[in-house]
Amino acid sequence: MTNTPQISLPQHRYHPRQYRENKFVYPVLSRRSKGISIGVNLNPDKVCNFDCIYCQVNRQTQSETRFVEMDRLLGELDAMLPFVASGELFEVDTFQDIPAPLRRLNDIAFSGDGEPTTYRNFDAIMASVAAMKRHLQLDDVKMVLITNASMFHRETVRRGLEILDANNGEIWAKLEAGSEAYFKLIDRTPIRFQQILDNITAASIIRPIVIQSLFMNVNGTPPPPSEVAGFCLRLKEIIDAGGQLKLVQIYTVARPPALNTVTALRNDQVDAIANQVTETTGLPTEVYSGAST
């Protein structure tokens, strides 16, 4: 099953990680969340263990904020959650003309300018946010971890994932290659591709997870057919090992990446990849073109 969202708005293409005086917490209209997602930036220093060629973060410039100030972060989130949940957000700034069906608080998303699971107090921040959500009686609001799955083997991350499981949490794990060579080309990291596959498999045996997969042109060339076929086989191997994959998000470049050698696929190319995933694995997919984010 492939589902292509029809709504495309300017706000989908504009995801600044600063909001007013906030340093760590920011609201965005997310097409994948189908509503408002409150971002929590756990990597304000812009340090990441991946250096993906499609990333929007310019790592050549230094960030003004170098460290996570836990008390300030939680204070910003404590103010932002009721601000969005009450609907007050839709009376200001660029959020005023958002259609009624999208005027909903869907989730708190941990992502930002780097890999959130590298944050040393990952389990502590998960616990604090979960407690705040309960206090504000926002049990229906998800906690979404947007991750490259590189640190799932760490004990502090395992504890954090367990807290997510108990608090309407969801893991969106990045996987967009079928081979080690293509993985190195796209994600530019010393971490082995097999480590990512092993981590995703181990995590998904415990709970269902979402796979997020961005495909693109590199120097004008789309992913080769052999790579897409390999990607589908990697998904099937995870399933055959007992992994629970509830959805594969297939999308392409929507906002300008740091490298101009990376460009968006055509809509029909994105659709074709999604169809191949479903035909090969039987998994449901959601498709997001480059027209919005």
Q: What is the pLDDT along the chain (293 residues), one digit of tens a residue?
A: 455 444 554 444 444 445 668 999 999 998 888 899 999 999 998 889 999 999 988 656 554 555 789 999 999 999 999 999 999 999 987 889 899 999 999 999 998 899 999 999 999 999 999 999 999 999 999 999 999 999 999 999 999 999 999 999 999 999 999 999 999 999 999 999 999 999 999 999 999 999 999 999 999 999 999 999 999 999 999 999 999 999 999 999 987 887 889 999 999 999 999 999 999 999 999 998 764 43
Kindly report the pTM of this predicted structure: 0.90
What pLDDT sits at residue 15? 44
3-state helix, strand, coil in the chain (%, to 5): 40, 20, 45
What pLDDT sits at residue 11? 44
What pLDDT sits at residue 20? 66
- Rounded Cα–Cα distance for residues 289 and 33 (Å): 15
The angle formed by the CA atoms of residues 206, 238 and 108, to the nearest 5 degrees, is 50
Which residues on adjacent β-strands are paired with residue 221?
A: 218
Structure tokens, 154: 């760490």
CA-based torsion, 265, 267, 268, 271: positive or negative = positive
Q: Where are the domains of the chain?
A: 2-288
CATH number of this structure's domain 2-288 = 3.20.20.70
